[in-house]
């Protein structure tokens, strides 16, 4: 599907605390093709959110992205083949947990050494800074595909790094030093709220 972004912004397809103990992530995943990895990661987050909702733990949903449909291919079951985003995207997920507003973005990187800052549109940084000023719990979930690891990285760190831009990417070493590993389980698949407890509620 061809999508045109407003104002030339390219949205990618795909204070800080340190963890006292950084345990390796349990590796239960089957091997999947790299092209499907980002969607698989998103599915795991969605499944985790469904689990949290079913247990009355949190209400967190993926934000819908409004689009203007330009062209539809009706020969393939009304498939959208061209559309415009109505507005630049902010972040992937928001909701409420323990009485606090939760707002976060999920990203994957296929590099085992760094996460490229070009994967973060400027409007996402502006949005996160705005919600942080109002007391939100905001962060990134970053999946490092070659290492089969996921880290929760506080938005304060990412926003500061993005603005200072000492590099064009965040080294994986810095992600590990400033982030919190997210364990993969059976239920919930990605237990990121346990990490939110450790990072924001202690």
**How many domains, in total, are found in the chain?**
1
Report the pLDDT value the prediction gives residue 89, as an integer from 0 to 100.
72
pLDDT band at 66 (very low <50, low <70, confident <90, very high): low
**Two tokens, residue 123:** 């409007």
Q: Which helix H or strand E contains 3, and what residues bound it?
A: strand 2-4
Inside any domain, residue 189: yes
- pLDDT for 46 beyond 90: yes
Inside any domain, residue 152: yes
Inside any domain, residue 18: no
Report the pLDDT value the prediction gives residue 74, as an integer from 0 to 100.
78
Inside any domain, residue 6: no
Inside any domain, residue 17: no
Nearest to 174 by CA among 140, 131, 127, 129: 140
Whichever domain contains 98, its CATH number is: 3.40.1350.10
Q: What is the pLDDT of residues 76-123, one digit of tens each?
A: 777 766 655 555 678 999 999 999 999 999 999 999 999 999 999 999
Inside any domain, residue 23: no
CA distance 169 to 114: 6
Under 8 Å CB-to-CB from 132, ≥6 apart: which residues? 138, 155, 156, 159
Q: What is the pLDDT of residues 144-197, one digit of tens each?
A: 999 999 999 999 999 999 988 778 999 999 999 999 999 999 999 999 999 999
CA distance 121 to 107: 12
Are the C-beta atoms of 117 and 170 separated by less than 8 Å? yes
Q: What is the pLDDT of residues 17-35, one digit of tens each?
A: 443 344 444 433 434 343 4
The boundaries of the domain holding residue 178 are 31-200
- Whose tokens are 């819908």? That residue is 64
**Two tokens, residue 88:** 């630049």
Inside any domain, residue 92: yes
> How many helices (H) and strands (E) are present in the chain, helices listed first?
5, 11
- pLDDT for 43 beyond 70: yes
Inside any domain, residue 41: yes
């Amino acid at each position: 599907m061809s999508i045109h972004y407003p104002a030339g912004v390219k949205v990618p397809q795909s204070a800080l605390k340190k963890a006292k103990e950084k345990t390796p992530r349990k590796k239960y995943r089957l091997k999947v093709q790299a092209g499907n990895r980002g969607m698989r990661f998103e599915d795991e987050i969605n499944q985790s959110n469904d689990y949290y909702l079913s247990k009355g733990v949190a209400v967190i949903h993926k934000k819908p992205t409004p689009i203007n449909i330009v062209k539809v291919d009706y020969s393939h079951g009304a498939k959208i083949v061209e559309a415009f985003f109505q507005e630049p995207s902010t972040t992937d997920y928001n909701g409420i947990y323990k009485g606090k507003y939760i707002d976060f973005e999920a990203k994957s990187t296929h590099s085992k050494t760094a996460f490229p800052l070009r994967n973060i549109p400027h409007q996402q940084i502006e949005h996160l800074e705005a919600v942080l000023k109002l007391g939100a719990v905001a962060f990134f979930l970053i999946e490092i595909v070659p290492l089969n690891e996921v880290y929760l990285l506080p938005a304060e760190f990412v926003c500061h790094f993005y603005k200072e831009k000492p590099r064009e990417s965040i080294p994986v070493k810095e992600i590990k030093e400033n982030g919190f590993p997210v364990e993969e389980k059976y239920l919930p698949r990605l237990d990121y709220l346990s990490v939110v407890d450790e990072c924001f509620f202690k």
